[in-house]
Structure 1
Amino acid sequence: MHKRSKGVSCAAVIGLTTLGAVLPLQEALAHGGMTYPATRTYACYLDGKAGGNGGDLQPTNPACVAAVAEGGKNPLWNWFGNLIGNAAGRHREIIPDGKLCGPSTTFDAYNLVHPDWPTTSLQAGTTITIRYNAWAPHPGTWYQYVTKDGWDPSQPLKWSDLELFNTVTNPPINGSGPEGPEYTWSAQLPVGKSGRHIIYSIWERSDSPEAFYNCSDVVFDSGAPDDEAPTAPGTPTASGVTGTTAQLSWSAARDNMGVVGYEVYRVNGASSELVASPDGTSTSLTGLKPSTSYTFYVVARDAAGNRSAASPAVTFTTTETPSTGNCKVAYSEPNKWFGGFTGNIQITNTGTSTISGWKLQWDYTGGQTVTNGWSAKLSQQGTTVTAENEAWTGTIPPNGSVTFGFNASASGSNLPAPSAFTLNGTLCSTP
């Protein structure tokens, strides 16, 4: 494993201790990866987030599923750490053909030959802005290669398959992506490319012998009209169903040029209503009515506006929402940072009798995971969080309140926030 400056190492340790990160400690030593066009590890990480529950990663893309089955989930959490610590510019010497996309044992599964790796759609001959996550900034030079015309995607990637089309040294960190600051730079794409290709990137540090490797699967549009619709998405599944909310997820659709998003429809008698347009393969449903049956289906769309056939429908019934009890809950997130937040909850006894001993429960449906807390004993099973009183917080007199707090990990926008809280099995009112 490569060495790192003392200051950066301390920052990594502090971040993991404070934020309760899911990654093992040693993974904090990784440094960056391409987010556009998305490298395989980043694309599968996003796919895993979309399909996951309770903070876990559960990819649905067939290639990503195969990679996890072979190499586990560590490369997803550590999608920015595909590196060789002592490369010293000897890439072709130390990386054999067939191992370019994952030159280490940890990332070997990302060398798999598979037709379903997530792709980015590009227009041949145009100028794009390449985006590269700056997990830990370092000076150096980036080299972008593309597979040659006539490359066979059914064979492992070889050095002889590649041709250089772009080089940049010390690009600025002037972008802000969903996973943090990003290097960005402009690159002229090769002309005449069409169909499926790989863009291969090498980041060669100038302050150490370390180098990073990224395989980004792309589909070049040659300019001909795209009139091929995506395949239908998989049957949606409903999870985390409450009286007013639910989470839908489905298997990804496929397309010759790449799927860019989905449309979620609610069936209403003989008609259907568009209720969500997510980019990924899941969405949160809110505003539902208790004890009511709902039916939903999903349609995929590509960049040309072609829409797939509808997925099979899913039907579920929301739960009964109990009447509001003698309690009120105020929820807030006073501190937020990239990858996490601090939560505060105040429970107020609005009844006329003292509450002696309490258990508060709520659901996080956006992948949030509680890591540690104070003034309450906290645990999480799937999306459901349970907070139980400590000895000194167990009594709440009429019109009295108790407050507790916690840290949690999160991704993206940290939405949706919880909207329903039950105290000892009784629904509480909220401000």
Structure 2
Amino acid sequence: MGALLLAAATLVASVVVVTARPDPAAAHGAAMIPGARTFLCWKDGLSPTGEIRPQNPACAAAVAQSGSNSLYNWFSVLRSDANGRTTGFIPDGQLCSGGATGFRGYDLARNDWPLTHLTAGRTMEFRYSNWAHHPGTFYFYVTKNTWSPTRALAWSDLEEQPFLTVTNPPQRGAVGTNDGHYYFTGTLPSNKSGRHIIYSRWVRSDSQENFFGCSDVTFDGGNGEVTGIGSGGSNPPPAGNGGCSATFKLTNSWSGGFQGEVEIRNTGTAPLNGWAASWTLSSGQQISQIWNATHTTSGSSVTARNVSYNGTVGVNGSTSFGFLASGTSSSPTITCAAS
């Protein structure tokens, strides 16, 4: 009898050990571009030995609360019973974890999470891990301009409608690897500047299982650069608020074209050392000339950036640039971001 009890105890102990280990086969996907908190914290903590040792303070705090399994399984922020439900199912303050107990550390309200730098209104390629392939629809939301990183994300912090919805996109790379992913293009919201969260939901169509994630971004004229991971640790704290506004004025118009001027004003508490203004051209419009700025276009999206002599703008100060365009004049909504 003693031998039998010993064998049973050994079996139970072995089961506990097995279930406590990371189980990648049970996980499925997360946003890679722009990177979700779990994905970028996993990248932040990668070491030559294969251990996860986060260097970013927010990532370290998340692991201290949720354990390192949350990063070995960075692709498994999910609820198996979600079935497309949102408000009232995932509690406010738990959106980034999807209400999953093993990822609650990623709900922490902090301003030092790894950060992806983007340009408002620009078209970009989104990527989402295909660790396990399933049919379904991806939804991407962005926070309202009233949101603050000092409080945990609530449903009321998100714009009501997703800015991007994609069903069954194509894939690249092998399923079940760290590099394999779904990919699709989408246009970022054009009325955003500064810090925001892009919130993603993947709703499977073949089961009730849904996936959730928070991607910390800043609309500052960036091209997808990521800061706050690796040996650099956290993002350097800003020296005051470097906010800015952009105001359009129609200065001339004629049949088939018009001239516009944009005033850039420093609305923050620190000097601007560079700025970027973004807007969307109306149908038929095309910029033919610009002065006191350089510009790039992607489809109908335009981004104008300072030149060497007007990038520095003091607090409450302003500068301006002008342009000529073909097409019928309009009054675009222009967003400004420090760059």
Calculate the TM-score normalised by the size of structure 1: 0.46
Q: 1:221 Cα shift?
A: 1.5
Aligned pair 1:40/2:28, yes or no? no
Quick one: distance in 2 between partners of 1:176 and 1:185? 17
Counterpart residue type for residue 218 of structure 1:
V
Distance (Å, rounded) in 2 between the aligned partners of 1:123 and 1:58: 31
Matched, 1:171 2:201: no
Q: Distance in 2 between matches of 1:186 and 1:59?
A: 31
Do residues 117 (structure 1) and 113 (structure 2) align?
yes
* Residue 254 of structure 1: aligned partner: 235
The secondary structure found in structure 1 opposite 2:163 is: strand
Change (3 A) 1:127 1:155: same
| Per-residue Cα deviation, 1:76-99 (whole angstroms, up to 9, x for no partner) | 000000000011112222111000
Report matched runs for 1:27-426 at 5 Å: 27-49=24-46, 52-102=47-97, 103-163=99-159, 164-174=162-172, 179-221=178-220, 250-252=231-233, 254-255=235-236
Shift of residue 149, structure 1, vs aligned partner: 1.0
2-side partners of 1:141 and 1:96: how far apart? 22
- Structure 1 residue 71 displacement after superposition: 1.1
- Where do 5+ consecutive residues of structure 1 fail to align? 1-22, 224-229, 234-248, 258-303, 305-431
Provide the C-alpha distance between the structure 2 equivalents of 1:207 and 1:139, rounded to a whole number of angstroms.
Answer: 7
Corresponding position of 1:296 = none
Q: Indicate conservation of the 8 Å contact 1:175/1:184, yes or no.
A: no
Is the CA contact (8 Å cut-off) linking 2:198 and 2:216 kept in structure 1? yes
Shift of residue 27 of structure 1?
Answer: 4.0
Aligned to 2:320: none
Query: 1:190 and 1:251 mapped to 2: Cα distance?
Result: 29
Q: Which amino acid aligns with 1:33?
A: A
Against the structure 1 CA distance between its residues 256 and 182, is the aligned structure 2 distance closer, same or farther, given a 3 Å change threshold?
A: farther
User: Following the alignment from structure 2 to structure 1, what is the Cα–Cα distance between the partners of residues 126 and 181?
Assistant: 10
CA contact (8 A) 2:117 2:221 kept: no
User: Distance between the aligned counterparts of 1:251 and 1:180, measured in 2?
Assistant: 23
What is the CA deviation profile of residues 269-321 of structure 1, one whole-angstrom value per residue up to 9, with x for unaligned ones? xxxxxxxxxxxxxxxxxxxxxxxxxxxxxxxxxxx9xxxxxxxxxxxxxxxxx
Distance 1:256 1:173, change over 3 A: farther
Q: Which residue of 2 aligns with 1:274?
A: none
- TM-score normalised to structure 2 length: 0.59
The count of corresponding residues between Structure 1 and Structure 2 is 214
Equivalent residue of 2:202, what SS?
A: strand
Q: Indicate conservation of the 8 Å contact 1:134/1:183, yes or no.
A: yes
Give CA deviations for 1:353-396 in whole Å, capped at 9, x if unaligned.
xxxxxxxxxxxxxxxxxxxxxxxxxxxxxxxxxxxxxxxxxxxx
- CA contact 1:41–1:110 (8 Å) conserved in 2: yes
CA distance in 1 between counterparts of 2:179 and 2:158 reads: 30
Letter of the structure 2 residue corresponding to residue 161 of structure 1: D
Q: Specify the SS of the correspondent of 1:92.
A: coil
Q: CA deviation at 1:26?
A: 4.0
- Provide runs of 4+ in structure 1 moved above 6 Å: none
Provide the rounded CA distance (Å) in 2 between the counterparts of 1:72 and 1:253. 20
User: Relative to structure 1, is the Cα distance of residues 95 and 75 closer, same or farther in structure 2, using a 3 angstrom cutoff?
Assistant: same
State which structure, 1 or 2, has the greater radius of gyration over its C-alpha atoms. 1
Structure having the higher helix fraction is: 2
Write the distance in 2 (CA, Å) between the matches of 1:118 and 1:176: 26
C-alpha distance in 1 between matches for 2:34 and 2:147:
19
Q: 1:222, CA displacement in angstroms?
A: 5.3
Residues in 2 aligned to 1:123 and 1:197: alpha-carbon distance in whole angstroms:
12
CA distance change for structure 1 residues 157 and 53 in 2, over 3 Å: closer, same or farther? same
Counterpart residue identity of residue 183, structure 1: Y
Q: Residues 124-146 of structure 1: CA distance to partner in whole angstroms, max 9, x if unpaired? A: 00011100110010000011000
- Secondary structure of 1:35's aligned partner: strand
Aligned residues: percent identity?
A: 49
- Does the CA contact (< 8 Å) of 1:37 and 1:218 recur in 2? yes
Is the CA contact 1:193–1:221 (under 8 Å) kept in the aligned structure 2? no
Q: Which amino acid aligns with 2:152?
A: P
Paired with 2:88 and 2:207, the residues of 1 have a C-alpha distance of: 18
* SS at structure 2 position matched to 1:167: strand
**In structure 2, how many angstroms separate the alpha carbons of the residues matched to 1:220 and 1:43?**
18
Task: Give the root-mean-square deviation of aligned CA atoms.
Answer: 2.8
Aligned twin of 2:277: none
SS at the partner of 2:114? coil
CA displacement, residues 4-51 of structure 1 (integer Å, 9 cap, x when unaligned): xxxxxxxxxxxxxxxxxxx936442111111110000000000010xx
Higher relative contact order (CA 8 A, sep 6+): 2
Q: Tell me if structure 1 keeps the 8 A contact 2:194–2:218.
A: yes
